[in-house]
């Protein structure tokens, strides 16, 4: 099948490369010339495990191409996927300028029937909105479907090729059949529904997952106070299939390019329809306070943060990605900086985030730890799990670790002379025996 992807970011590039690998003929179109040049030269604009090899293989096979030209990308396509960004507007609603611009360009260059698939996460009613914009620019026949994407950064290639389900929202059977053909080689349940249900499914899924994390983080805070261990509680509740084990890992709170903006959009949608989403709103507030609470926990232990040197390991919003959008690590660094701490941070892959105050980036964990009074683990990179704790201790001026990802071997950290504060574990406890499953 001939497929065009509009927007070559995390979703567009991964979708394009994976669809090409499934045998489709794919053109990725992006307005960002530098990004397209980089891809044409064989270098990746994002860090995503397995992606580079996939892109190279399919470019070499002639199944994957990159262009900034809509005139080259649109005519002849049987499926045109819109995968542009849908960031939050200042009032929490969705900024639709990129989707609208993509729809107009599709209309301008459409040369025959195509299925236009909204892969971006978009508000309910977007399929109709895109159809109006395309129709204004072309007499050609087309259908618009909703095809939300559920991949996770860091696991994007796997998630695209082995998804839990594919959701297709279509008003016309012809369009649904084209989409089923596109994904024929992916073995998973394919849920065909109306466009509005498909659009809402994506927001409801992300809001539910975010709420689940906020819930376990709230339980974790209670654990710290009552002397319980959140890992045991999570295992105890997660073994019930009605609850499930996934998304019960406590941490500094959810972030990234999706959950915060999608939860905001979900709340906004409820507001617009006079149906406030009370449960999800509580999850949002819990998440905001979780980051601040970590800094307060550190401050309580160190006294004032003014003039203290703090090492922060991690900047990306989670491990295995370079994405720092809405990262808890970024908020933690900003808050430490605001409270007068001298922050040194290290991340193996993260792109630089804007405005981190006077915080300085260094090239290794040990350089970040030099003369630090405390160390914060803010992102779950695998390399932080295996740090040489004795070397760290020697480099630091203090002995406090705030392990906001519960990544370190607590007993080993104590052996190396550290006091280790963790999430959902009382500060001064003897470790209970491991839970048997």
Q: Which residues contact ligand NAD by CB under 6 A?
A: 6-12, 29-32, 35, 83-86, 98, 101-102, 120-121, 149, 151, 153, 257-258
Give the residue closest to ligand NAD by C-beta.
9
Please say if 188 is a catalytic residue: no
Q: Are 331 and 297 in contact (CB under 8 A)?
A: no
Minimum separation from the CB atom of position 432 to ligand NAD (A): 36
Four-point Cα dihedral 272, 273, 275, 277, nearest 10: -50
Q: Tell me the CB-side half-sphere exposure of residue 195, using CA atoms within 13 A.
A: 23
- Among residues 8 and 324, whose Cβ is nearest to ligand NAD? 8
How many residues belong to the chain?
437
Beta strand 374-377 with 309-313 is parallel
- Among residues 72 and 101, whose Cβ is nearest to ligand NAD? 101
273 burial class (0-12, 13-18, 19+ CB within 10 angstroms)?
exposed
Minimum separation from the CB atom of position 286 to ligand NAD (A): 22
332's tokens: 């933690």
Minimum separation from the CB atom of position 208 to ligand NAD (A): 15
- Among residues 47 and 215, whose Cβ is nearest to ligand NAD? 47
Q: Enumerate residues 6+ apart whose C-beta is below 8 A from 38.
A: 44, 45
Catalytic residue, from 258, 311, 352, 420: name it: 258
Q: Are 128 and 179 in contact (CB under 8 A)?
A: no
- Among residues 9 and 107, whose Cβ is nearest to ligand NAD? 9
Q: What does each C-alpha distance from 49 to 53, 160, 321, 329 come to in angstroms?
A: 9, 13, 8, 21
Q: Enumerate residues 6+ apart whose C-beta is below 8 A from 388.
A: 366
Q: Are 71 and 105 in contact (CB under 8 A)?
A: no
Q: Using CA atoms, how far apart are residues 225 and 228, in angstroms rounded to an integer?
A: 8
- Among residues 35 and 422, whose Cβ is nearest to ligand NAD? 35
- Among residues 287 and 320, whose Cβ is nearest to ligand NAD? 320
Minimum separation from the CB atom of position 399 to ligand NAD (A): 37
Q: Are 98 and 12 in contact (CB under 8 A)?
A: no
Minimum separation from the CB atom of position 134 to ligand NAD (A): 13
Minimum separation from the CB atom of position 302 to ligand NAD (A): 35
> Which residues does residue 27 pair with via DSSP β-bridges, in sequence order?
4, 65
Catalytic site residues? 258
């Amino acid at each position: 099948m001939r497929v065009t992807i509009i927007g070559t970011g995390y979703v567009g590039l991964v979708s394009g490369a994976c669809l090409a690998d499934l045998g489709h003929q794919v053109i990725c179109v992006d307005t960002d010339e530098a990004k397209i040049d980089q891809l044409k030269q064989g270098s990746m604009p994002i860090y995503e495990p397995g992606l580079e090899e996939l892109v190279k293989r399919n470019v070499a096979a002639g199944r994957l191409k990159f262009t900034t030209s809509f005139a080259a990308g649109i005519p002849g396509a049987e499926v045109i996927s819109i995968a542009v960004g849908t960031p939050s507007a200042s009032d929490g609603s969705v900024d639709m300028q990129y989707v609208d611009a993509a729809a107009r360009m599709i209309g301008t260059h459409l040369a025959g029937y195509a299925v236009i698939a909204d892969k971006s996460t978009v508000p309910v009613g977007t399929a109709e909105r895109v159809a109006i914009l395309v129709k204004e620019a072309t007499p050609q026949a087309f259908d618009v479907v909703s095809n939300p994407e559920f991949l996770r950064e860091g696991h994007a290639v796997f998630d695209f090729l082995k998804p839990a389900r594919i959701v297709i929202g279509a008003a016309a059977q012809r369009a649904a059949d084209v989409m089923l053909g596109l994904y024929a080689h992916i073995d998973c349940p394919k849920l065909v529904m109306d466009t509005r249900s498909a659009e809402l499914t994506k927001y409801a899924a992300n809001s539910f997952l975010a709420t689940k994390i906020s819930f376990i983080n709230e339980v974790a805070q209670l654990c710290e106070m009552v002397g319980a261990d959140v890992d045991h509680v999570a295992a105890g509740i997660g073994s019930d299939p009605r609850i499930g084990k996934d998304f019960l890992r406590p941490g500094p709170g959810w972030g990234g390019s999706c959950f915060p903006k999608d939860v905001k959009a979900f709340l906004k949608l409820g507001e617009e329809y006079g149906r406030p989403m009370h449960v999800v709103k509580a999850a949002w507030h819990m998440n905001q306070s979780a980051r601040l609470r970590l800094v307060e926990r550190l401050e309580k232990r160190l006294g004032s943060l003014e003039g203290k040197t703090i090492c922060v390991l991690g900047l990306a919003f989670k491990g295995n990605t370079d994405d720092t959008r809405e990262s808890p690590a970024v908020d933690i660094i900003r808050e430490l900086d605001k409270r007068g701490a001298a922050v040194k941070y290290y991340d193996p892959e993260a792109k630089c985030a804007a405005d981190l105050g006077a915080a300085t980036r260094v090239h290794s964990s040990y350089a970040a730890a030099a003369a630090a009074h405390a160390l914060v683990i803010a992102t779950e990179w695998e390399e932080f799990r295996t740090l040489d704790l004795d070397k760290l201790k020697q480099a630091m001026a203090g002995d406090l670790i705030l392990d906001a990802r519960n990544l370190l071997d607590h007993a080993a950290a104590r052996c190396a002379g550290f006091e280790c504060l963790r999430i959902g574990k009382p500060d001064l406890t003897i470790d209970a025996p491991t839970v048997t499953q």
